[in-house]
Amino acid sequence: MVKKKLLLCLFALLPILASAQDNRVLTPVIWSQIEKTVKENPDSVKALVARLTLPKLDTTLTMSQRVLAFYGQSYISQGDEMLDARR
């Protein structure tokens, strides 16, 4: 009986959950642009990383700037963050 009510509740919420994802578009990652930006101006990427990692959320950053900060920092450090996190 409990399983039946749980399944009914789940099926009732499923359309709401599915429609909530419609408004969120995926941000494409343009690797050539990130590589070019990192090579030409790595300090701007480091400044974006500093803004992104502040304890107080910076709501003025666009999604493309966040992607550039995240992937640009990984490109600069050549993935060393993962090695540091494992230690």
Greater pLDDT, 30 or 16? 30
Largest CA distance in the chain: 64
Distance CA 7, CA 81 (A): 42
- As a whole number, mean pLDDT of residues 54-77 equals 86
Greater pLDDT, 86 or 70? 70
Position 26 confidence tier, pLDDT thresholds 50, 70, 90: confident
pLDDT digits (tens, 9 = 90+) for 27-50: 788 889 988 998 999 899 999 999
Distance CA 1, CA 77 (A): 55
Distance CA 62, CA 48 (A): 11
Neighbours of 67 (CB within 10 A): 18
pTM of the model: 0.60
Distance CA 77, CA 40 (A): 15
